[in-house]
Structure 1
Amino acid sequence: MSALPSAFAGESYGIGRFIELLHRTIGLDAESIGANAVSRAVHERYDLWRDAQDGTLDDYYRAVTQDSARMQELIEAVVVPETWFFRDPEAFAALARLARVRLHERPAKPVRVLSAPCSTGEEAYTVAMVLIEAGIPAERFTIDAIDVSERALTIARRAHYGRNAFRGRALDFRDRHFRAADGGWQLDPAVAQSVRFSQANLLQLDTHAFERFDFILCRNVLIYFDRDTQCTVLRVLDGLLAQGGTLFVGPAETGLLMREGMSSANIPLAFAFNRPVRESANVFNGAWPAPQNIAKPLPLVKPAFVLPAWASAPPVVRAMPVAKLREEAPIEPAPQMNLAHARALADAGQLDAAASAALAYLNAHPSNADAYYLLGVIADARGEHQASRGHYRRALYLDPAHREALTHLAACLSLDGDESGARLLLARAERVTGSPR
């Protein structure tokens, strides 16, 4: 970025006070997006304010701190939505299956889901679509979605999306739930009406105002906070999560939750966690236990996830049985079908079988980055963290633009305390985001 304009350079406090104000208000760690990005946002809003008020930067700072509308305008300038439908699709498939389990265990109580922050609504609407397609009637679930940005919520409530909201190749859901309209796609009202949107600041949320949620999606936001703010948000989420509930985070945030003592739900590719609990007490004491301070492992809320037969639902990618493959395709099966079978085994909790299937595929296709990435995820689920790092690095050697391997290895480096290395990998992942992988 070029040098700051003279109106900024001559001020006694400079841009730092705005950075601190945004940190106090919404928890933003300026380093996560770059101080220059914050400078540009402040400059943009200050120029607009000065055209009408003809004041100094000091005057503008006072106006922002004293006028909630001005503060909201600055927040809107800093917050840039980046999301799309079915981002990390395995998480949504896992949520739908777990919701069926939850309804079986508590048939009289609807499943409650929270998307926080929800950005422009794609995540919350994806949850609604997968629950409906899992055969769960609309009256059996509720979805609340909150965000600090009123601009993003306006887009979400409109439920009309352009091409950027639909990424990747698996777009059959668009044909089922959208209609072409006004140069984009309009969501089916039956789906749109199943989500309740409201403006809220996650850092200032009154957890007592909500009934606890069975599932919370707080994905790809913790990486924008510093360590103290991350702990604050985790305390808020704990106050919102029902006993036995599941928290979904982004792939780059798994290392943080493991470091803070959360228990993996052991659902590969879903990035799902449960609250750690002691047998003698289920009350959160206000601080997440650090793993090094625990004398012995805490009992998990649940063992490695194994879906009951009665709760099975069609997965996102259905693997064809090997016998059927041989019957219909006497030549070598397509590579993606072999990997789909390995993924399906991993998703069902059959980690040994999944690893064997992935290794068998690699014997025939030793340069396949996706297979090495899957082995890394399986190793992580087994707790074999050193092995997982090797698999992720091998995947990136073969495919330097493999977004999932980049974000997972970044999480591993963060867990090891290598924050600079993690940031470099996340920056690489951002540059390839939106590819058809």
Structure 2
Amino acid sequence: MLRTVLGALLTAGGLPAVVVGATRGPSLALTVGGALALLLGTVVLGPVAAATAVRVLGAPLVRLRGVTGALARRNAARNPKRTAATASALMVGVAVVTLFTVFGASVKATLDDTVARSFAGDLAVTAPAAGAGGSGVSPRLAPALAALPEVRAAAGLGRGVAQVDGRGKQLDVADPEQLAQVTDLGRIDGSLADLGADGLAVSRTEAAARGWQLGSVVPMRFTDGPAVFTVRALYRGGGVTGDYLISRRAWEPHRVQDADTLVAVALKPGVGLAAGKAALTRAAAGFGGPQVQTRAEYAESSASGVDMMLSVVYALLALAVLIALLGIANTLTLAVHERLRELGLLRAVGQTRAQLRAMVRWESVLVAAFGTAGGLALGVLLGWALTRAADSAGTGSFALPAGRLAVVALVGVAAGALAGLRPAARAARLDILRAVAAD
């Protein structure tokens, strides 16, 4: 009773915290706290849901395997506490993997949407690949590329940092007029051409949050001291550029890093991507050999870090599956030992060795299916919540990678089938007379 009350309290507190943290604010701290409470509550309430869940999951098995399937379902549901305890390791592992799979897919979808929505150029020039040297490209590269006969416009995008109201903010640094030709900043209130040495362009979201409008004075503090800027343009945020944009002329007195993170290039009409890419590659060779990519290639490379993260997560899945496999195998071995007399009677009334092996294997599969189904449901919910909570600008995309989730489900269930092989073989080797005579 105490366990049920504790689990209900954790779940009742965690679920609203997850939803509110994801939709009202959003609040990443509230979402993470609610997720932990919900995860603990789900594990604690496992025995309450185990019997019903196993009966539901095992219903198709009864139709497919008849008496053998019915016995497997009944055995898996007869001890809910043991079933839940056995499946909990797999459930937690699957939940964590599902969470990061959904979150990773959503991050990649957001990056793709961001490039498609705000990158109006044809090619992107970025720093050489990791290990090739440098963390950016020379700011002299953009003017050199803009002078090529194949290029209509080229804008270098640098990064800076300044304090606004005591909090560090990232600044985008660019030639405003060139930038407007290679990125889509949406409707612009004011004029980027008027930024000059003390002008500031701000995203509408940030301006609304701080109560700024055209003409507002914004004090900033750089590493070399304070400076005062005036808001001269408002644009749509959430794209290639962030919330703050200043001109190179304004950044020059405070510059601490002489490098651009990206040069966006728009080709002249009639110039093909292949020809333009070749021309840019030749021109950029004298600047350290940066990468020249199409929009699609740039979006894919931007998401490469997500794929690396998912590789680590899938390695954790393999470890979780191994631990769960050992747990299920040990539990079934114990169950076979406890049910020696019952198994002997089944063999005595006509159950074959093959049917007995199948019964134990299917029992193992049902336990794994219970853990996998719970982990998938919990992981999708928490993945959605984390995606929403981390999207403070409200411009992110939620993606549900059905193919990868199907693979996770298959791996979880397959782990159950593998875990049941040894206990099933042991049960099938039992001597009928000794089993019937067992205490």
Query: What's the TM-score once normalised by structure 2's chain length?
Result: 0.25
Which structure has greater strand proportion? 2
* TM-score using structure 1 length: 0.25
Larger relative contact order, structure 1 or 2 (CA cutoff 8 Å, min sep 6): 2
Rg larger for: 2
Q: Which has the higher helix share?
A: 2
